[in-house]
Structure 1
Amino acid sequence: MAWLGVDLGDARVGLALSDPELTLAHPEGNIEAMGDSFRALDDVVDFIAGHDVERVVVGLPLLLNGEAGKSAKKARRWASNLVRRLANAQEDGREGLDEIPEVELVDERLTTVSAHHQLSQAHVGSRSHRPVVDQQSAVLILQSALDGRPRQREE
């Protein structure tokens, strides 16, 4: 089982997937959103069905003061729509969706800034950032959720 990180954008929706041990997040690419992240919902459902995802972590772009602005409200609507689409796909007998993954929203303030910084540190030219910054942001969102989960003790 894996967790999926999602960074919503109007041009692209970035995806990141965890390893089965839920330790590390790695980039999984982008889904073109063509001006509206809601257009990517079916592709995200397809991705989930094909990757044994047990939890989806969607970035919640709160304002710097912690309040929910327009983008955060849109992210909440997107996550609700994802839950509905997953339930419909499961009802329709969609293969790979025996269980609907949990969907949670995670504060993503400054992840895009951090993603640009990491890409610069990795000597990725600034012109090359645009295609990868969304998936790198998804990695940061997912890694934050993985790092924050309670660890089970090995016996």
Structure 2
Amino acid sequence: MKPRVLGIDFGTVRIGIAISDPLGMTAQPKPFIKQSETSFSEIIQLVNDYDIKTIVIGLPKHTRGGHTKKSEEVAEFSEKLKEHITIPIVFRDERFSTQAASKQLSVTGLNQKKQKTKIDSQAAAFVLQGYLDQI
């Protein structure tokens, strides 16, 4: 078994969540966390429940690679998260992850309302899968 990895797609309303399988081969989307005062404690609970050893956070960038206002929000979120955990946090380019997640969900036959509840965690799974494929 490989150490488990948590993938995060940060959003101001919802935080997409994905966790690697026990073999460290695939990213599995989990229910999103609603952005609130308890968000960090919910993430810490996942870290403890799944014995997470690394967190991968999607970092938004312009199509040309530059940082965005959202990149700054992600950096601020990760700094606050570091106050609560001691495991490494890794950033991964998340350009087009939401579009890829939307495309994948649209072929599943889910209606728009159901897709909206799953897209953030599906995007987190894309970011995490890219990381898993490189390690």
When residues 147 and 5 of structure 1 are mapped into structure 2, their CA distance, relative to the original with a 3 A threshold, is same
Deviation per residue, 1:7-52 (Å, 9 max, x gap): 1111111110001211001011111115xxx762222112112210
In structure 1, the residue matched to 2:72 is: 73
After TM superposition, give the deviation of residue 126 of structure 1 in Å. 2.0
Mark the runs of 5 or more structure 1 residues left unpaired by the alignment.
Answer: 87-99, 150-155
The aligned counterpart of 1:144 is: 130
Runs of 4+ in 1 over 4 A off after TM superposition: none
Separation in 2 of the partners of 1:2 and 1:125?
A: 31
Assess, with a 3 A threshold, how the Cα gap between structure 1 residues 31 and 116 changes in structure 2: closer, same or farther: same
DSSP 3-state at the match of 2:6:
strand
Equivalence map 1:17-28=2 (5 Å): 17-28=19-30
Q: Supply the AA of the counterpart residue of 1:68.
A: H
1:136 Cα deviation from its structure 2 partner: 0.4
Pairing 1:33-112 to 2, within 5 Å after superposition: 33-34=35-36, 40-86=39-85, 100-112=86-98
How many residue pairs align between the two structures? 133
Q: Which has the larger radius of gyration?
A: 1
Identity of aligned residues (%): 27
Which amino acid in structure 1 is aligned with residue 133 of structure 2?
D
Q: Distance in 1 between matches of 2:93 and 2:83?
A: 22
Task: Give the letter aligned to residue 114 of structure 1.
Answer: A
For the 8 Å contact 1:8–1:14, the answer to whether it is kept is yes
Question: Is the contact made by 1:61 and 1:72 (CA closer than 8 Å) also made in structure 2?
Answer: yes
Q: Could you tell me which residue of structure 2 aligns to residue 89 of structure 1?
A: none
1:119 counterpart = 2:68? no
Deviation at residue 63 of structure 1 after TM alignment: 1.3
**Deviation of the 1:69 alpha carbon:** 1.1
Give the gaps of 5 or more residues in structure 2: none
| Other-structure match for 1:31 | 33
> Mapping of 1:4-15 within 5 angstroms?
4-15=6-17
Matched to 1:41, the amino acid is: F
CA RMSD of superposed structures (Å) = 1.4
TM-score of the superposed pair, with normalisation by structure 2: 0.92
1:42-71 deviations in whole A, cap 9, x for unaligned?
A: 221121122100110001011111111110
